[in-house]
Structure 1
Amino acid sequence: MQIGMIGLGRMGGNMAKRLAAGGHTVVGYDMSPDSGRDVDSLEALVAALDAPRTVWVMVPAGKPTDSTIDTLYDLLDEGDMVIDGGNTRYVDDARHAEQLAAKGIHFMDCGVSGGVWGIKRGYALMVGGSAEDFERVRPLYETLKPEGEYGLVHAGPVGGGHFAKMVHNGIEYGMMQAFGEGFATMVRSELVSDPAAVMTSWKSGSVVGSWLLDLLADAFKSDPTLKDMPPVANESGEAKWMIEAALELGVPTPATAAALYARQTSRGGGDDTLRVVSTMRAQFGGHVTKA
């Protein structure tokens, strides 16, 4: 197939390379002239594609995505298709689909997981949109997914792909937090002499074996204590969105919420709170807190 890729960063650039290696014709655009882009504007990208066009948007969620889709609305024609593969919040997908449908432009949302390893391992794809649109561009999805039976799913109508990816990332938060808490507990114990070796041993035979554990074990090889890694973890917003959606649906998500709060605290968001707690402990009990 022929596809226009907008956004050639760590994810979009590697996805474009995997598609090209799979035999597709890829026309890439990025705002940065050092991105390896094929064209220097969205107008040039659209002009380089044969109708009906397929354009994949891989830019940051929010205003960058909104602006890109606004421009594509003006440039594309009836029968063309836009796929949003960024981390857009699922509630925005219906708005984008309705906007583009006014000109007869098709829309799909695709949650993408795989990080920098996806170019070799393949990407897990969670797609939202109509069944007809899904089948129309299935060859692209099949090239991007890992080899084998799994890794690609038509999650549901428009919004379903990004909703599924949001839940995926919430689960990811909880899994990483659990590994971190287990490591920290063993570090504090005198009974475990090498926590890194213990966790690495779980790669085989253990029910907690996973790709996340494999990646952690690789990191242990060069830094078994992880002392060189700053204790700060950012959050992309998707766990927060999942918790909000779960509350609306009446689903308790304590593990995801705890993992989210831990990340927020790591960035200093809880410092003022703890200062208040320490102050009150000192006032009523004479407790002195030392840094």
Structure 2
Amino acid sequence: MQMGLVGLGKMGGNMRERLRRAGHTVIGYDTDPQLSDADSLAAMVERIDSELQVVWVMVPDTVVDPVIEELAGLLGEGDVIIDGGNSRWVHDAPRARRLAERGIEYLDCGVSGGVWGITQGYALMVGGNGTTVAKVQPIFDSLKPAGEFGFVHAGEHGAGHFAKMVHNGIEYAIMQAYAEGWELMEAAGHVTSVRETFNSWREGSVIKSWLLDLAVNALDEDEHLERLAGYAEDSGEGRWTVESALDLAVPVPAIANALFARFTSRQDEAPAIKMIAAMRNQFGGHAVRDVAAGPEHLEAEPGEEPAHPSEQ
């Protein structure tokens, strides 16, 4: 097939290359001229030399609508726009209706695979009409991993991005569980090699996964993660997952706690934990740290021996 691809960052650029390796003609556009095959969206569309014009959009959620609006003015009856970014699912059905009024078909597609997708393939979760999916199925077939799995027509408009949102929420929780287990073993000292323990779980264990493989890769590069700051961003999907759970009254404590842990990571100190320490000292005389006196100094109520940090 011939198609355009807007947004050639870490994901989009690799997707362009994987599609080209599969024999498709892909004209890419990016605001970075060093990455772009065309100097404008109009020039990109003009170079799609086929009766069916398909454009895949891989841009941040904040700019999806302006990009799609410009594309809608360049495409015609029966052409297809696919939004493959991490967009909020509630926008998909209204977007599809607006495009349908102009004769343009629309699909939302959640994409997972990161920088490894170029060789391993991408997991694809698609929302929209089945007839539109069929039109562009060769594109999905080339992007997905080889084998039976990796692609799903998840439902109508919005279903693809909703499925990807939940996927990312689950990802948050799994990563948090691995991280907490790693920290616990590092702190205990009983396990002489935490890295090799993680490595041993990669085969035969019920918790083996690709994320575990990636965790071991990171530990191979920096065994105790001493070169990294304990700071983690969230890209939005975790928040949307928790918000959807609230709307539907579905409990998602593991995902919510993983999201809040990322918020905690951005604080130089954790003010809430200060309040917990203060209240424990007030009702039980539990030892508290005096920051000014240094990390080893603990203050306790008269007559109470300061507790060892491991006993608090």
TM, length-normalised to structure 2: 0.89
Contact 1:264–1:270 at 8 Å: present in 2 too? no
CA shift digits 1:92-151 (9 cap, x unpaired): 111211111110100000000000000000000000011111111000000000011000
Match of residue 71 from structure 1: 70
| Whole-Å separation in 1 of the counterparts to 2:278 and 2:197 | 39
Contact 1:6 1:58 in 2 (8 A): yes
List alignment gaps of at least 5 residues for structure 2.
292-312
Q: Structure 1 counterpart of 2:124, which letter?
A: L
Q: How far apart are residue 230 of structure 1 and its match?
A: 1.4
Answer yes or no: is the 8 Å Cα contact 1:5–1:56 preserved in 2: yes
AA in 1 matched with 2:68: I
**Corresponding residue for residue 22 of structure 1:** 22
Pairwise CA distance, 1:261: 0.4
Letter in 1 for 2:21: A
Aligned partner of 1:97 in structure 2 is 96
Q: 2:42 aligned with 1:51, yes or no?
A: no
Distance of 2:123 and 2:185 partners within structure 1:
33
Which residue does 1:208 correspond to in 2?
Answer: 207
- How much does 1:270 deviate? 7.0
- Distance across 2 between alignment mates of 1:233 and 1:208: 23
Whole-Å separation in 2 of the counterparts to 1:60 and 1:159:
16
Name the CA distance, whole Å, in 1 between partners of 2:112 and 2:42: 29
Where in structure 1 are there 5+ consecutive unaligned residues?
none
Matches within 5 A, 1:129-208: 129-208=128-207
State the match for 1:264 in structure 2: 263
1: CA distance, partners of 2:54 / 2:179 = 42
**Which deviations, in whole Å up to 9, do the C-alpha atoms of 1:140-199 show, x marking residues without a partner?**
000000011000110000100000000100110010000011111111213211111111
Identity of aligned residues (%): 51
The SS at the match of 2:108 is: strand
Deviation at 1:11, TM superposition (A): 0.3
**Equivalent position of 1:108 in the other structure:** 107
- Residues 25-58 of structure 1: CA deviation (Å, up to 9, x unaligned): 10110011111x1111011111112332100000
Residue 280 of structure 1 and its aligned partner are, at CA, apart by: 4.9
Task: Return 198-207 or 263-272, whichever deviates more.
Answer: 263-272
Structure 2 residue 31 is the aligned partner of structure 1 residue 31: yes
Partner residue, 1:8 = 8
**Distance change (3 Å), C-alpha of 1:246 and 1:199:** same
Shift of 1:233: 0.9
Are the aligned partners of 1:20 and 1:26 in contact in 2 as well (CA < 8 Å)?
yes
- Quickly say closer, same or farther: Cα 1:43–1:230, change in 2 above 3 A: same
The offset of 1:279, in angstroms, is 4.9
Match for 2:103: what amino acid? G
Amino acid at match of 2:253: P
Distance 1:230 1:65, change over 3 A: same
Question: CA contact under 8 A between 1:126 and 1:155: conserved in structure 2?
Answer: yes
Q: Which amino acid aligns with 1:288?
A: V
User: Does the Cα contact within 8 Å between 1:240 and 1:260 map onto a contact in 2?
Assistant: yes
Distance 1:175 1:134, change over 3 A: same
Q: Secondary structure at the match of 1:170?
A: helix
Q: 1:118 maps to which residue?
A: 117
Q: Which has the larger radius of gyration?
A: 2
What is the aligned length? 289
1:75-106 C-alpha deviation (Å, 9 max, x unpaired): 21111110000000000111211111110100
The RMSD of aligned alpha carbons is 1.6
Single out whichever of 241-250 and 256-265 deviates more from structure 2: 241-250
